[in-house]
Structures are given as C-alpha cells and as structure tokens.
Amino acid sequence: MNRAFNRKKDKSWMHTPEALAKHFIAYNVKFLGNTEVDQPKGTEIVKDAVRKLKFQRHIKKSEGQKIPKVELQISIYGVKILDPKSKEVQYNCQLHRISFCADDKTDKRIFTFICKDSESNKHLCYVCDSEKCAEEITLTIGQAFDLAYKKFLESGGKDVETRKQIGGLQKRIQDLEAENSELKKQLQVLEEQLTITQVPPGNGMSPKTPTDVFDMVPFSAMPPLAPLQASNGSAPPPPARPTEMRRDIFGAEPFDPFTCGAADFPPDIQSKLDEMQEGFKMGLTVEGTVFSLDPLEGRC
C-alpha cells in the first residue's frame, strides 16, 4: 500500500488547481463496498478491510450478483460516490473527515480510503476497483488535500467552518428529501385505500339488507294489527264461517263458540241450556238466600 499524503513536494500534481477547486475530477470505478475499521489509518488496517470485502464480493458473485459501478467525484470539498446513470449521491465523504488514502502496489486496481462517518462517528474503509488507475485516484485526492490546506491557511480557518456548515446543511437537505419521498408514498397508499373503501354516490344501488351467519334476513317483530271499526262505530262482525270446515282426527267439526248458533247443538244439550237460562231468570240461590233478578218483584 502507498499513502497519498506522503508525496514529495517537488513532484508536480496531475490536475490544475482550478479543476479541483471550482469543479471536480470524475472516475468510473467498481464499488466493492465499505466496512467499519478500528483505527483511522494504517496500512494493515486497509489490507484487512480489502480482504474482507473481496471475500464478501466473491460470495455475492457466486450467487449471480455483479459488482456495482459508481462514479467518483473528487474536489477540494471531498469525495462523492454517485450512481453513474441517475447521478444520485450514495455517499458524500467530506475531505476533512478522510484520514487515510492508499492504493495497492501489488494490485493496480484496488483503491481505498478511510472516512469518519458524520452520524455514527465510526471509521469506515471504502474499497474500489479502479481498472488499473488506483494510483492516479490516490494522487488526485492528495492534490485535493494540498489545495484545501492552502485555502485553509489563506482564509485563516474560516473556510473550513463554512464548509462544515454547508456540508451539514446538505446532509439535512438529503434527509428531508428522503423523508418527503417516504411521506408521499404513504399518502398515496392512504388515498388508494380510501378510494377502495368509499362507495361513490348516485350509483343507483339500494342498501343491502343485513343477514346473519346463515345468510338469512333476521326476524323483526311486527306490531299487532288493530281491529277495524265499522262505519257506524260498532264492533266488526265475526269472520264468516268457511263453507268447508276442516275436521279433527275423529272426523268431527271443531267447536267455535263465536260462530255457533242454537241449531248447532244436539237436542239434549239444547234442552239443558234452556233449563239453565230459565234458572238464571228466576233467581240465584247462594247459601239458602234467594235473590230475584226480576225488577217487578223488588229487592229481598
């Protein structure tokens, strides 16, 4: 491995200062990933991280997953890792948080740097496969550090604080945009659920009668029907006797006290009833005392 920050001062840099100060230098690489490390710098630290990420990448490759391609943008403000097509920022490593940068002399493709995460304050080692230009990327980051340090001396340290504030605001903007996108998705789901559950008015459908577990309409008690009054105010006549009477199991017609007349009883029963009526007309006997019901005889 080779540290980029130990370059000799008499050796010229690869890019113009304006390219890194006003713009950025872009490289297309394959991103192996990042992993947490115990120390902010050290050759053995990055070697262990490279071995770990290479092993993980071999496992994913055996499962059919390809190494994702990303775009590195290097400037005096930091190193950005973006999606090459959508230009979406995946990682934004500010320059003052990068503590170590190295390339592998045995493998010209591997390039690594260690950066302190702004949220967790953990040191993360980023590993990239750069298609035999790892040393050039390392020198570009070294030149960005050299220009940033000169600018720091010229501004008396104020420029660094300003960049920190700008970096914090950019991170806050990214968090708010992600939160806003998530809220939009939740709102869309709620609107779809509301559209499904709400019945549109004026569809001409009558409300469905509720049924029980057997799909039967539940019984509802109806109030008893009041008897209809006749036109002269008297009670309604008894119902008409049907022409054909149903008979019981013995073949006799059922007894109906409301519709029967004198001719409906047999002769022996009719004579008994006549005697009882005559007895009521003559008087009532209660414990030997006779009470007359005839108003002409007076009271006893």
8 A C-beta contact, residue 87 and residue 38: no
Taking CA atoms, 130 is separated from 29, 77, 89, in Å, by 5, 21, 19
Is the model's pLDDT at 295 over the cut of 70? Answer: no
Q: How many Å is the maximal CA-CA distance in the chain?
A: 159
- Please give the pLDDT value at position 195: 82
Cβ atoms 114, 40 nearer than 8 A: yes
Residue 115 has pLDDT above 90, yes or no: yes
pLDDT tens string 18-55: 889 888 999 999 999 999 999 999 999 999 999 999 99
Average pLDDT, stretch 90-118? 90
Structure tokens at 157: 């340290």
Tens of pLDDT along 208-233? 666 666 666 666 655 555 555 555 55
Q: Are 7 and 131 contacting, i.e. CB atoms less than 8 angstroms apart?
A: no
d(CA 263, CA 270): 8
Residue of higher predicted confidence among 111 and 278: 111
Please tell me what DSSP assigns to residue 106. Answer: S
Taking the C-alpha atoms of residue 52 and residue 41, their distance in angstroms, rounded to an integer, is 17
Does position 300 have pLDDT exceeding 70, yes or no? no
What would the mean pLDDT of 7-17 be, rounded to a whole number? Answer: 66
pLDDT at site 298: 46
Residue 259 or 136, more confident: 136
Print burial letters for 105-125: b (CB count within 10 Å at least 16), e (below 16).
eeeeebbbbbbbeeeeeebbb
